[in-house]
Amino acid sequence: MADVLNALVLIANFIIVPGFAYGSQLALGALGVTLVFGVLRFSNIAHGETMALGAMFTMLISWWLQSMGIGLGPLPTALLALPFGIAASMCLCLITDRAVYRYYRRVKASPVIYIIVSVGVMFIYNGLVRFIVGPADRVMVDGQRFIMKAKDFKTATGLDEGLAIKTSQAVSVVCAVIAVAMLFWFLNRTRTGKSMRAYSNNEDLALLSGINPERVVLITWLLAAALATVAGTLYGIDKSFQPFVYMQLLLPIFAAAIVGGFGNPLGAIAGGFVIAFSELVVTFAYKRVVAYLLPESLEPAGLVQLLSTDYKIAVSFTILVIVLLIKPTGLFAQRTT
Amino acid sequence: MSFLIGENMTCGYGGADILHSCSVGVDPGEIAVVVGPNGAGKSTAMKAMFGMLHLGEGRVMLDGTDISQLKPQERVLHGMGFVPQNNNVFTSMTVEENLEMGAFIRRDDISGTMAQVFDLFPVLKDKRRQPAGELSGGQRQQVAVGRALMTQPRILMLDEPTAGVSPIVMDELFDRIIQVAQTGIAILMVEQNAKQALNIADKGFVLVQGRNAYTDTGAALLADPEVRRAFLGG
């Protein structure tokens, strides 16, 4: 019995807890991508770098707050800096829209051109981040590291395996829930949010109803910037802040958005968790789990790992390809046409 | 001169003109129907009057003022409502949200107008929490008409409201349209079902190849042997 519990704790510690945290981060990223796609109708390649910039702004402000001696006690200071980081990246997104995207809207550019343009924006953002804070790896988290330490869990339960929950993981999940609740309240309950959904659903009819497209675009950028900053900051707190990591996050984020059906916010959230858990399940080494469950004589010699963690990007890519081949509208496609 | 009139409209979609000096008009409380064979420019005439096409020649007058240069959105503000033929509802949104979006330009309380729309189309009240995309064709058309009514327009323009619905539903829709007209709204519609449409029409415009072929009251057009033979199947 203890063996089974140990195996379960092992899985909880290495797959379930990190999966929820990582899934929340991906879901927030995918929501931003999906919103921009729904309203502006292009895949925003620069979204990963928007996350990096948002996280950078938040990090800079939290450093300043720390130097002033302001903190949140056990919680990371970055949470306090988050609203300012969001405001900064909102400004940046609006400036980018004014300076870059607005022109392509006016000339009614095709989606392909938009994508290439957003690649350009990505490089500029990327350069901006490196220019301001450099390419080095930085720790964003402070305050109390763990809510529950592995050792405390072991002494409390008497099991051999420990279950650790990092503060950053809990913060990720809680922040994601709050952000998603606010977003859905906005989209479903407010006039402006409804006009965004209307515009995303049927542009011509929205125009006939007197909905101002420029205003919808503006609100979309504000939301995308906010979501990107929250996602980027949470990822930074949970892991660490490395400028290049956010570019690598782009693939799982797009995979999440596509798995959920591009343009569908609920799908993006589900997609985020699908991708996060698949990555962890496929790259986890099950050797110790198997050892607990099987008699000693059958203990595996290898790691019992399906795929090395180096290949975790391949997981989201594979899921992306499979979904595009089998159900290109996404697993959670809206039935209504 | 009519309340809303498109005078001598000549226009097209780039390249050759579709409409050639075509005139269509309607007065408050009246139903005007535009009929004609396929490709006669019926829908084009509607689009031209709503400002979705640039007029090469001619003008659109509303209540004595020239509105030819206004954008479609601005014409909505001037009391014109338009129900397109296709994609005329927000499919992913509920019936109620569709109506709310119809009233987007209004800043005042819309609950009274919404109650009127629900009175006119009782079935929508039952389905008001359902996404419009899940409704039947006839119900969707009701949502589309309801959405356009939410701005409390003085003129309602309908582009083939009965396209793709069953004859029974068509009759019901026509009844509703008559009801709307009785409230003093001017109704201008394009119809494929010429006979039934002319039956309820105060005014009929028969277009052929972008030109006015016959213009008369609905009853007179129905009685005209030439119109009957050419367009109404005997």
Identify the residue with better confidence: B2 or B95. Answer: B95
Mean pLDDT of the A78-97 span: 97
Closest approach of B103 to chain A, Cα-based (Å): 7
Residues of A in contact with B84 (CB under 8 A): 204-205, 208
Question: What per-residue confidence (pLDDT) applies to A96?
Answer: 97
Inform me whether the pLDDT recorded for B176 exceeds 80: yes
Q: Is A204 in Cβ contact with B101 (below 8 Å)?
A: no
The ipTM assigned to this model is 0.88
Q: Is B84 in Cβ contact with A209 (below 8 Å)?
A: no
Helix (H, G, I), strand (E, B) or coil at B61: strand
Of A194, A204, A210, the CB nearest to B87: A204
Mean pLDDT of the B104-122 span: 93
Region(s) of chain B under CATH 3.40.50.300: 4-79+153-231
Residues of A in contact with B105 (CB under 8 A): 209-210
Does A189 contact chain B (CB < 8 Å)?
no
Mean pLDDT of the B133-159 span: 94
Mean pLDDT of the A102-128 span: 95
Residues of A in contact with B77 (CB under 8 A): 210
Average pLDDT taken over every residue of chain A: 92
DSSP state of B185: -
List, in order, residues 6 or more apart from B157 with CB less than 8 Å away.
Answer: B46, B49, B50, B80, B81, B82, B83, B187, B188, B189
Residues of B in contact with A194 (CB under 8 A): 93, 97, 100-101
Does B184 contact chain A (CB < 8 Å)?
no
Inform me whether the pLDDT recorded for A235 exceeds 80: yes
A2-326 topology per CATH? ABC transporter involved in vitamin B12 uptake, BtuC (1.10.3470)
Pairing of strands B155-159, B186-190: parallel
Segment A159-175, tens digit of pLDDT: 888 999 999 999 999 99
Query: Cβ distance B46 to B190 under 8 Å?
Result: yes
Query: What pTM did the predictor assign?
Result: 0.90
Taking the C-alpha atoms of residue A166 and residue A54, their distance in angstroms, rounded to an integer, is 22
Query: Cβ distance B193 to B33 under 8 Å?
Result: no
Mean pLDDT of the B25-53 span: 91
Chain A interface test: which of B49, B52, B82, B101 (most A C-beta within 10 Å): B101
Does A334 contact chain B (CB < 8 Å)?
yes
Question: What per-residue confidence (pLDDT) applies to A116?
Answer: 95
Does A198 contact chain B (CB < 8 Å)?
yes
Segment A12-37, tens digit of pLDDT: 999 999 999 999 999 999 999 999 99
Q: Is B91 in Cβ contact with A336 (below 8 Å)?
A: yes
Touching B: A residues 201-260, CB under 8 Å: 201-202, 204-211
Question: What per-residue confidence (pLDDT) applies to B230?
Answer: 80
Closest approach of A206 to chain B, Cα-based (Å): 8
Question: What per-residue confidence (pLDDT) applies to B234?
Answer: 59
Mean pLDDT of the B193-216 span: 92
Q: Is A191 in Cβ contact with B73 (below 8 Å)?
A: no
Pairing of strands B211-216, A165-166: unpaired
Identify the residue with better confidence: B38 or A121. Answer: A121
Chain B CA closest to residue A264: B92
Closest approach of B232 to chain A, Cα-based (Å): 32
Mean pLDDT of the B68-75 span: 90
Does B104 contact chain A (CB < 8 Å)?
yes
Res. B171 pLDDT band, cuts 50 70 90: very high
The number of C-beta contacts closer than 8 angstroms across A and B is: 68
Average pLDDT taken over every residue of chain B: 92
Res. B128 pLDDT band, cuts 50 70 90: very high
Inform me whether the pLDDT recorded for A328 exceeds 70: yes
Closest approach of A196 to chain B, Cα-based (Å): 10
Q: Is B131 in Cβ contact with A205 (below 8 Å)?
A: no
**pLDDT cut 70: percent of chain A above it:** 99
Question: What per-residue confidence (pLDDT) applies to A302?
Answer: 84
Q: Which CATH superfamily is domain B4-79+153-231 in?
A: P-loop containing nucleotide triphosphate hydrolases (3.40.50.300)
Of A194, A334, A335, the CB nearest to B101: A194
Identify the residue with better confidence: B233 or A197. Answer: A197
The DSSP line for B189-231 is EE-S-HHHHHHH-SEEEEEETTEEEEEE-HHHHHH-HHHHHHH
Does B46 contact chain A (CB < 8 Å)?
no
Of A201, A202, A210, the CB nearest to B104: A210
Res. A337 pLDDT band, cuts 50 70 90: very low
Res. A333 pLDDT band, cuts 50 70 90: low
Res. A336 pLDDT band, cuts 50 70 90: very low
Does A297 contact chain B (CB < 8 Å)?
no
